[in-house]
Amino acid sequence: MQKMTGNIPTMTPRIICVLFFMAMAVMQASGQLREVPPSRHGQPEQRFMEEWKRNPPRPLQTADTAVLVFIGDVMLHTRQMENSHERYLRKGGSAPASDHEAYDFSPYLEDIRDSIMAADVTVANMEFTLGGPPFTGYPSFSAPDSYARYMAECGVDVFLTANNHICDKGQKGFGRTLRKYREMEKSHGIKTAGSHDTECPGSTGILYVRARGIKIAILNFTYGTNVPAGKRYKAYMTSISDMEHAMGQAKAGKADLIIALPHWGNEYTLRHSKSQEETAEWLAENGADIIIGSHPHVVQDCDTIVTAGGRKVPVIYSLGNIISNMSAPDTQLGLMLTVRVAIHPDGATEILRPEYRFTWCSLPGRLTDSHKTVFVRDYIGRQDAWQSSYEWLKMKKTYFRVRRETGIEDME
């Protein structure tokens, strides 16, 4: 590179103008630029300032956003198993119903699978055990191992295990469920929250996941279990002692975000109970950033709790069922919740407005020959797509009634 020598050349008006604009940009970025008084003739500096305000430069760093999806109760009733086994046989299978692989669940979530897969983290309440054969439905659930694997292959990343059915097959079934989930962690990358093996080092039931650099603590609690829990395998309860312990662990782990997922409330009611509200208030005051419930088998209303410190904590009291054989009023309607969490350049996290999409679980012979979950908005205007006009009308009436009674607005 050749050095410049001799006198500095005379600068042309074009060069002066370019240097002026460059200086203005530097001063604006450093906060040294003051407002220029309006010019009667519209001087270049005024036009520059006006253009700057209309089209400010993009920041060097922008907020990143993690996408979290939550779906409700994953059930496997007897009729679901019968139908799935029949479909397996029609496709040429020959194994008996006692075989873990003798089931075809493929239609269940195929319509909503892309939305599940697109999330950074998807969480579901697994309301059954993997207790081994004979496989059974309500009231004492034991699903084939292939059912949990199917959910993982559809994109569910986190299995919630603190629910009233986790002890349905006693300590033996509880232990087998957790062992199979540990195997699936290696084969499918799934994680679990809510239950733990007290004799397994490092097993706490408290889950930490990372999404877009955000450290998230997932805490899952249940109001109780249908069969009393034993000493070795335990689920976290919605007791003050269990919740205090879990919250303390999450804070000690320096989580950026704490998500509490309680299994609670009165079944089949569209409005939350006083007990749910009191538990939600405790969770919010003690550090939860968002609270998402399950168990009632129907969608319940939502709220925002403002803590004593001024934090705003969204509460979704129940997501309802995502897949089941239930047909009682409101039980076929579910909710897919999308939570976007922004992380700003200074490291602060922000929960953006939750997004809701209503789902409908159709039973065999009504939409297709299988249990099948679809987005309501995709089918509400397509009566001709249904085998049963009764089912289509039921979905339509349920959808508008639940929206009205809960105040939840479906995402456009």
Total count of domains within the chain:
2
Query: Are 110 and 210 members of one domain?
Result: yes
Same domain assignment for residues 75 and 49: no
8 within domain boundaries: no
Q: Which two tokens stand for residue 244?
A: 């205090």
In a domain, 59, yes or no: no
pLDDT at 43: 52
Q: Which domain holds residue 295?
A: 64-406
pLDDT score of 203: 86
In a domain, 1, yes or no: no
Judged by phi (left if over 0) then psi (alpha if -120 to 50, else beta), residue 320 lies in left
Segment 213-238 mean pLDDT: 96
Q: Are residues 186 and 44 in the same domain?
A: no
Do 195 and 304 lie in one domain? The reply is yes
Pick the last residue of a domain from 54, 73, 101.
54
Are residues 277 and 402 both part of a single domain?
yes
Residue where a domain stops, chosen among 5, 35, 54: 54
Let me know if residue 187 belongs to a domain.
yes
CATH of the domain at 366: 3.60.21.10
| pLDDT attached to residue 373 | 98
Closest C-alpha among 116, 105, 145, 103 to residue 128: 145
Question: Is 355 a domain residue?
Answer: yes
pLDDT of residue 9 exceeding 90: no
Task: Give the Å distances, CA to CA, from 274 to 271, 286, 299.
Answer: 10, 18, 17
Q: Is residue 46's pLDDT more than 80?
A: no
Do 174 and 213 sit in the same domain of this protein? yes
Same domain, 25 and 148: no
Last residue of a domain, one of 54, 83, 99: 54
What's the pLDDT tens digit per position in 316-334?
Answer: 999 999 999 999 999 999 9
> Residue 11 domain-assigned?
no
153 and 279 part of one domain: yes
Torsion of CA 296, 336, 363, 368, to 10 degrees: 180
Quick check: is 124 in a domain? Answer: yes
Q: Is the pLDDT of residue 60 over 70?
A: no
Backbone angles phi and psi of 333, in degrees to 5: -90, 130
In the predicted model, is pLDDT for residue 368 greater than 60? yes
Greatest Cα pair distance in the chain = 96
Q: Is residue 46 located within the same domain as residue 108?
A: no
| Percentage of the residues of the chain whose pLDDT score is greater than 70 | 84
One domain, residues 38 and 104? no
- The reply to whether 305 and 281 lie within a common domain is yes
Residue 291 CB partners (closer than 8 Å, separation 6+): 259, 260, 261, 262, 280, 283, 284, 305, 313, 314, 315, 316
Same domain as 366, residue 288? yes
- Coil, strand or helix: which one is 239? coil
> Could you tell me if residue 281 is inside a domain?
yes
Q: How confident is the model at residue 30 (pLDDT cuts 50, 70, 90)?
A: very low
